[in-house]
């Protein structure tokens, strides 16, 4: 069940009505927990057991961390949580990748092996709820979060359905305090939430799903297309992944808000970033901040000599890439971003005090950043390294390719979407509807929703980040 | 300023929600009424457009799947009928893969053009299809016909609630559907699929493309001979037949099927109800429906699940290898469902002769 399906509308309507009818906070939380598991079970009910198991392990670890005083015991328990969570993630997501990569490496060394991979189904959202879960135990270990005695609270935090399958990654320190007292409907910005939901729906269902077939067509056989088509294909993919992911996040945040809970913003107009560092402060903010707090800083962060800091950055970005998928293309994507971050750091260091250099190159900052991000997307999307290399040659060198082409009017579509996106960043669409009388707003919303559905393609394209 | 009470706030919230919902529903219905007919591939739009222009030229219509499309020649039918003293001018509205309920919807669109001279409509007679191949489920072809009239029959059949006004599902059936027991493994998925299709159809999903096509004049093949056939009568004969090994396997299977317990075409009361609605619509235009069972090698004869439910018109059944051996020879067949070009021509001749006898015997007006 995804947010753009009609059955989610019925599911949420029932959940919403029953939830706000209840007065007791515990009853509401139990109801939400039940609905969250039903939501997850709609994908595959068997994996709810995995979710429950992961929650139980971390609940026990949290309780033991609160009870144990010795450093050694506490380290043992946090290691248990991290190993259990990463072990599950590693098995379901990376087992076949490591087995086949290891086999290829041994074959390259002249030691052929006969290995078989397993037919493993990847549980939807495992990368997300594993990170939710680890944020709890690590924060308890660090003393930033009190261990929860109420199993329902912890289970709800980990399985809360809006961010469960594709983010944003929720932190225990941000979410658990919201479960303490009952939410008040009078505090809910209903208008803002439903507008946000509609905006997310438009991004995902009308834009991302509409450009998906064009992107699929190009990336399936890039060698058949012209270099200009490479630009169209890659730019459309940049649009698709942003609209797909940020659209889903908007809907998740809106759904949570309608239930009285606040989730953190996950995107802040990333394609207007002035450099790669800025890009990572705007793109998938919940992931980049999670990696910063739970990987980069424990590795040493910015403390230490330059080579040490750069090592930490590269490890974080490589693992960040690998988190997205079990393929070398994702690792390469992470490596590209890591390299770009290092280059930006060096540039900042070298031009420190050289205002003339910074001023002279300021106008180049944005186009270069967008260009580098698009180049990196090639590896993120390509089926394999060979096709990525073909696309790279077309995109960067304007060479190679075939005679098949994507229509040039698609460039106009890209420009139009970029313009609308720019208007949105200037908050042109943000406020006018807030002052309308409620019945007018309701009628306008209903009509707009009906008109928006005209532009939804008939085919259903799963959220890109579901595969992570 | 007085602060509204919780009850007053709740009342206003409900009223506003009702306003929003009403606006949504009314907009959907309004758009549905004014949007141009969607561009549907596979020959549907092409043949509809052709028929809309030439509707008064025909007095006989054949509608059904590929078993009609590739097997009934209007030219041969008209010639034999003329020889029998009943001249006709017919059109083949067969479409590959078009079964009930899609065929019922398309028939309604054809009859909505108000053809003035239509006398007879041959409707392929087969069980209501609930399954859609996974790869076709997201196509527009699976969506355009999913109005409430069609969807309600599908949902009724899947839950077996009967055709009365009140839907009364059996608890055991519901239990089996939810738990996927006793052959109901796919019923739950089909229920979700068809319900979603109706919702998408009602909400005009993907119809913006039709608006753009309408204004840009994108032509998806107005008089495309590929769909209308060389003679422009909607019939396309299919070349080829069975190989020697295929023929041998077919003969063996046919022999076995005609043995102790021949497979029977089972017609549910939901199918009869769907055809009753078709017949009503056909008669309202002044024509007469004839239900046609093509010579399928997988189902012989017809059996009705509900003995009280009978077809609302004359039935011409050719699915009997003993009665029509020429249509079941391996040389006349491409596969178990379809005939070769010569097999189709023989079938058309038999149809025309039988039909003429039906008229002379008063079974059809």
pLDDT 10s digits, B237-259: 988 888 888 888 888 888 887 77
Residue of chain B whose alpha carbon sits nearest to that of A20: B10
Nearest neighbour of A446 by CB, restricted to B15, B20, B195 = B20
| Local structure of B178: helix, strand or coil | helix
Chain A contact probe: residue of B14, B25, B28 with most A CBs at under 10 A: B28
Q: What is the pTM of this model?
A: 0.88
CA distances from B267 to A207, A316, B149 (A): 44, 64, 19
For B110-127, the three-class secondary structure string (H helix, E strand, C coil) is HHHCCCCCCCEEEEECCC
Does residue B188 have a pLDDT over 90? Answer: no
**CATH architecture of the domain formed by B35-128+231-360:** 3-Layer(aba) Sandwich (3.40)
Higher pLDDT, B310 or A38: A38
Strand partners, B266: B303
Point out the least confidently predicted range of A10-14, A440-444, B2-6, B276-280: B2-6
Cis peptide before A191 (omega within 30 of 0): no
Q: Is A344 a catalytic residue?
A: no
Quick check: B313 and B274 in contact, CB under 8 A?
no
- pLDDT value at residue B219: 54
Q: What confidence score (pLDDT) does residue A406 get?
A: 77
**What is the chain B residue with the closest CA to A459?**
B138
Which is higher by pLDDT, A414 or A12? A12
CA neighbor of B154 nearest in space, from B132, B170, B123? B132
pLDDT band at B232 (very low <50, low <70, confident <90, very high): confident
Sort out which chain B residues have CB atoms less than 8 A from A444's CB and list them. Answer: 23
| Closest Cα in chain A to B17 | A442
Instruction: Catalogue the E-assigned strands of B216-313.
Output: 265-267, 288-293, 302-304
* A·B CB contacts under 8 A: 75
**Euclidean distance between CA atoms A6 and A17, whole angstroms:** 17
Whether A184 and chain B come into contact, CB under 8 Å, resolves to: no
Q: What is the nearest CA distance from B331 to chain A, expressed in angstroms?
A: 41
Q: Is A112 helix (H, G, I), strand (E, B) or coil?
A: coil
Q: Please answer whether residues B163 and B128 qualify as being in contact, where contact means their C-beta atoms are separated by less than 8 angstroms.
A: no
Nearest Cβ partner of B138 from A7, A450, A460? A460
**Is the predicted pLDDT of residue B356 greater than 90, yes or no?**
yes
CA A392 to chain centre: 25
Looking at residue B292, its pLDDT comes to 93
Q: Does A445 touch chain B (CB under 8 A)?
A: yes
Q: For chain B, which residues make up each domain, given as ranges?
A: 35-128+231-360
Q: What is the DSSP letter of A227?
A: H
Output the pLDDT for position B221: 47
Whether ipTM exceeds 0.90: no
Name the closest residue on chain A to residue B134, using Cα atoms. Answer: A459
H/E element holding B302?
A: strand B302-304
How far is the C-alpha of B346 from the C-alpha of B34, rounded, in Å? 45
CA gap A226, A215 in Å, rounded: 14
SS3 for B353?
helix
Q: B-contacting residues of A 401-440, CB under 8 Å? A: 438-439
**pLDDT tens readout for residues A42-95:** 888 888 999 999 999 999 999 999 998 888 999 999 999 999 999 988 888 887
* Residue B212 pLDDT > 70: no
Read off the DSSP letter of residue B326.
Answer: G
Residue B249 CA to residue B245 CA, distance in Å, equals: 6
pLDDT of the residue at B223: 47
| Number of other CB atoms surrounding residue B58 within 10 Å | 21
Find chain B residues with C-beta within 8 A of A23's C-beta.
Answer: none
Q: Which residues of B touch A6 (CB under 8 A)?
A: 195-196, 199-200, 203
Q: Does A10 touch chain B (CB under 8 A)?
A: no
> Which SS3 state, helix, strand or coil, does residue B325 take?
helix
Q: Where are the domains of chain A?
A: 6-182, 190-455
Most A CBs within 10 A among B9, B14, B20, hence the mutation to make, goes to B20
pLDDT in tens, B287-304: 999 999 999 887 776 777
Q: Do A454 and B204 touch (CB under 8 A)?
A: yes
CB B98 within 8 A of CB B64: yes
For B101, B290, B337, the CA distances from B124, given in Å and listed in that order, are: 11, 9, 13
What six digits make up the tokens of B159? 């839950």
Average pLDDT of span A339-367: 85
Question: What pLDDT shows up at residue B8?
Answer: 66
Interface residues on B facing A, Cβ-Cβ cutoff 8 A: 9, 12, 15-17, 19-25, 27-28, 31, 138-140, 143, 192, 195-196, 199-200, 203-208, 211
- Given A324, A344, A405, A407, the catalytic residue: A324
**Rounded distance, CA B326 to CA B308, Å?**
33
């Amino acid at each position: 069940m995804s947010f753009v399906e009609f059955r989610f509308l019925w599911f949420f309507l029932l959940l919403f009505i029953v939830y706000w009818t209840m007065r007791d906070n515990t009853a509401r939380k139990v109801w939400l927990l039940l609905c969250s598991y039903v939501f997850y079970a709609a994908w595959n009910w068997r994996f709810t057991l995995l979710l429950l198991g992961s929650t139980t392990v971390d609940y026990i670890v949290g309780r033991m961390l609160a009870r144990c005083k010795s450093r050694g015991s506490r380290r043992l328990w946090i290691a248990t949580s991290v190993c259990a969570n990463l072990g599950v993630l590693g098995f379901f997501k990376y087992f076949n990748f490591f087995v086949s990569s290891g086999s290829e490496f041994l074959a390259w060394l002249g030691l052929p092996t006969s290995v078989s991979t397993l037919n493993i189904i990847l549980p939807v959202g495992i990368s997300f709820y594993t990170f939710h879960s680890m944020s709890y135990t690590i924060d308890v270990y660090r003393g930033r979060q009190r261990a929860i005695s109420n199993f329902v609270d912890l289970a709800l935090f980990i399985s809360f359905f809006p961010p469960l399958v594709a983010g944003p990654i929720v932190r225990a320190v941000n979410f658990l305090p919201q479960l303490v007292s009952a939410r008040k409907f009078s505090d809910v910005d209903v208008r803002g939430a439903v507008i946000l939901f509609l905006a997310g729906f438009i991004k995902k269902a009308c834009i991302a799903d509409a450009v998906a077939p064009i992107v699929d067509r190009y990336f399936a056989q890039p060698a058949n297309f012209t270099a200009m088509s490479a630009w169209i294909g890659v730019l459309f993919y940049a649009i698709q992944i942003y609209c797909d992911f940020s659209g889903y996040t908007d809907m998740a945040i809106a759904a949570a808000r309608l239930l009285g809970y606040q989730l953190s913003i996950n995107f802040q107009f990333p394609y207007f970033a002035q450099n790669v560092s800025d890009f990572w402060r705007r793109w998938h903010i919940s992931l980049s901040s999670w990696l910063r707090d739970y990987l980069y800083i424990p590795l040493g962060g910015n403390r230490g000599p330059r080579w040490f800091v750069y090592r930490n950055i590269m490890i974080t970005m490589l693992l960040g890439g690998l988190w997205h998928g079990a393929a070398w293309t994702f690792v390469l994507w992470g490596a590209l971003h890591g390299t770009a971050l290092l280059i930006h750091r060096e540039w900042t260091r070298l031009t420190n005090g050289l205002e003339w250099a910074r001023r002279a190159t300021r106008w180049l900052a944005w186009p270069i950043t967008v260009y580098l991000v698009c180049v990196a997307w090639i590896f993120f999307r390509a089926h394999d390294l060979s096709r990525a290399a073909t696309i790279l040659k077309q995109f960067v060198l304007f060479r190679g390719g075939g005679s098949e082409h994507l229509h040039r009017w698609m460039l106009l579509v890209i420009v139009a979407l970029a313009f609308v996106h720019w208007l949105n960043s200037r908050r042109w669409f943000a406020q006018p509807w807030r002052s309308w009388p409620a019945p007018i707003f309701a009628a306008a919303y209903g009509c707009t929703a009906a008109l928006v559905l005209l532009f939804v393609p008939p085919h259903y394209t799963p959220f890109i980040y579901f595969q992570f | 300023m007085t602060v509204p009470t919780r009850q007053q706030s709740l009342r206003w919230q409900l009223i506003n929600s009702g306003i929003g919902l009403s606006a949504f529903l009314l907009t959907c219905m309004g758009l549905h009424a004014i949007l141009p007919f969607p561009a549907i591939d596979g020959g549907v739009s092409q043949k509809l457009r052709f028929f809309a222009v030439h509707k008064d030229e025909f007095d006989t219509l054949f509608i059904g799947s590929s078993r009609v499309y590739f097997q009934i020649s209007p030219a041969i039918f008209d010639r034999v009928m003329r020889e029998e003293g009943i001249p006709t001018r017919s059109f083949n509205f067969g479409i590959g893969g078009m079964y009930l309920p899609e065929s019922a919807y398309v028939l309604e669109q054809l009859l909505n053009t108000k053809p003035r001279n239509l006398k007879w409509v041959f409707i392929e007679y087969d069980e209501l299809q609930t399954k859609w191949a996974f790869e076709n489920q997201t196509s527009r072809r699976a969506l355009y016909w999913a109005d409430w009239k069609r969807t309600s029959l599908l949902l009724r059949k899947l839950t077996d609630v009967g055709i009365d006004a009140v839907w009364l599902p059996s608890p055991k059936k519901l239990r089996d559907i939810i738990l996927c027991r006793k052959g109901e493994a796919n019923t739950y998925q089909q229920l979700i699929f068809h319900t979603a299709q109706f919702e998408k159809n009602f909400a005009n999903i993907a119809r913006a493309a039709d608006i753009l096509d309408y204004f840009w004049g994108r032509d998806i093949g107005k008089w495309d001979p590929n769909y209308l056939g060389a003679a422009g009568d909607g019939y396309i004969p299919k070349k080829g037949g069975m190989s020697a090994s295929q023929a041998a396997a077919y003969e063996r299977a046919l022999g076995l099927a005609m043995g102790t317990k021949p497979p029977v075409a089972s017609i549910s009361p939901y199918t009869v109800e769907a055809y009753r609605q078709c017949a009503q619509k056909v008669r309202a235009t002044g024509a007469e429906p004839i239900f046609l069972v093509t010579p399928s090698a997988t189902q012989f004869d017809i059996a009705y699940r509900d003995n009280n439910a009978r077809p609302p018109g004359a039935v011409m059944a050719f699915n009997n290898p003993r009665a029509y051996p020429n249509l079941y020879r391996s040389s006349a067949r491409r596969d178990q469902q379809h005939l070769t070009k010569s097999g189709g021509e023989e079938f058309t001749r038999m149809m025309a002769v039988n039909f003429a006898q039906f008229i002379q015997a008063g079974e059809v007006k």
